[in-house]
Amino acid sequence: MGSSASLAAAPPPPVAPPPALPAGLAQVLPQKAEEKGNGKGAPEKVDWLDLPCPVPYEELQREALMSLKPELFEGLRFDFMKMLNQRFALSHSVFMGSMEVPSQSSDIIKVPSSHYEFGANFLDPKLMLIGRVLTDGRMNARVKCDLTDNLALKIHAQLTNEPHFSQGMFQFDYKGKDYRSQFQIGNNAFYGANYIQSVSPHLSFGGEIFWIGHQRKSGIGFAARYNTDKMVVTAQVASTGIVGLSYVQKISEKVSLASDFMYNQMSRDVSSTFGYDYILRQCRLRGKIDTNGVVGALLEERLNMGVTLLLSAEVDHVKKDYKFGFGLTVGE
Amino acid sequence: MASRVSLKAKGKRKAGKGSKPAAPEDGSAGGLAKEWSTWAMKKAKVLAHYGFIPLVILVGMNSEPKPQLYQLLSPV
């Protein structure tokens, strides 16, 4: 695709000259020179053989997703997490509210539903097991195992009692010195692979391919990410006709702003989202506004040690859909 | 001909209730392997569905420092 070629010619990597201090000053203030060299002030010489490891391919847009796609919900949510020791925890979660049923027409159909979810988490540096089971029998399982220092195996499964609705995915991740690669096998004969490589201390490029056996469909995509301490820019293009760009700017330690642009060539759908993320001492407030006429916000306020209040609101002016939710999280 | 077909249909219905899979019609190795792997996947799915959370609890209760059994049930 033409656009992927233009992305590959994206900003050239920065090359910085080594810092030069007059000899007298260097002798008088040796420590200050060292600090300046390591800090953000003076530019450093780039070691092209020692580039940092890039973020995993699926977390390319992680900063943008954290700000722009908070977990908005409608209804009541109560979560209780009980730690039995520092690695093992049990969680109980109650939800009462309306779930949206996808419908063919433009009407919104909401079905009131409630469920209780029991979960068990075991988190070890080398092994992570997370299991969640709902009252209607649906089970969600995640396993992450570090087979060696560089190779990790991840399993994600969603099992239901209804036949043919279960899904499972195996992922093998290999982390190299300045690259990461991943191979995925999923049910319905889904095979995928992706690879991301650092080309400079701030810039990394990646690509992915996938193949769906049952529908005989395959796809290829490319991605690029440029990040500094203050901002992250990502771009993704896929052969399914989707172009996505995102830009996150960190204004200060507490505030960051994000924006996202998505264009779908098959359905001629364009949408853009702008959002903010305030991380304050006692609360975290995230809000977003969309070109589809959706405004949403999520507030997580720490009331006391271990008790967090959640307030969620999502207003869709175009479809006249108003969703408000409140909840409480007890435990870490 | 018709009696052979009806016998085969009866045999398939009997075997489909969760017991081991019957041999395919032509007895090919590929078809046999596919039926056995489907049976294995179904059993693995049921095993994972019922056994994963007990497995996590077992691994967690045996990790250091060992939690007590009453902590599993009480809300404190």
Question: A302's torsion region: left (phi>0), alpha (psi -120 to 50) or beta?
Answer: beta
Write down the pLDDT at residue A32.
Answer: 45
Question: What pTM value is reported for the model?
Answer: 0.75
The enclosing H or E element of B50 equals helix B29-61
A88 touches chain B (CB under 8 A): yes
What does the CA dihedral A72, A78, A83, A84 come to, rounded to 10 degrees? Answer: -140
Asked if B60 lies within 8 A of A118 by C-beta distance, the reply is no
Across chain A, mean pLDDT equals 86
- Looking at residue A3, its pLDDT comes to 39
The CA distances from residue A61 to A4, A174, A225, A233, A280, in Å, are 18, 20, 8, 9, 22
Give B49's contacts in chain A (Cβ within 8 Å). 139, 159, 161
Which residue of A lies nearest to B57 if distances are taken between CA atoms?
A120
Q: B 28-67 residues with CB below 8 A of A? A: 45, 48-49, 52-53, 55-57, 59-61, 63-67
- Phi and psi torsions of B8, nearest 5°: -65, -40
Establish if A134 touches chain B: CB-CB under 8 angstroms: no
pLDDT at position B21: 62
Chain segment B57-71, per-residue pLDDT in tens = 999 999 888 888 888
CA distance A117 to A133: 6
* pLDDT tens string A8-51: 444 444 444 444 444 554 455 444 444 444 444 556 677 788 88
ipTM score assigned to the predicted complex = 0.75
Contact between A87 and B63 using a beta-carbon 8 Å cutoff: yes
Question: Which pLDDT score, from 0 to 100, does residue B27 have?
Answer: 63
Name the least confident of A21-35, A48-62, A248-262, A270-284: A21-35
pLDDT tens-digit series, residues A136-176: 889 999 999 999 989 999 999 999 988 888 899 999 999 99
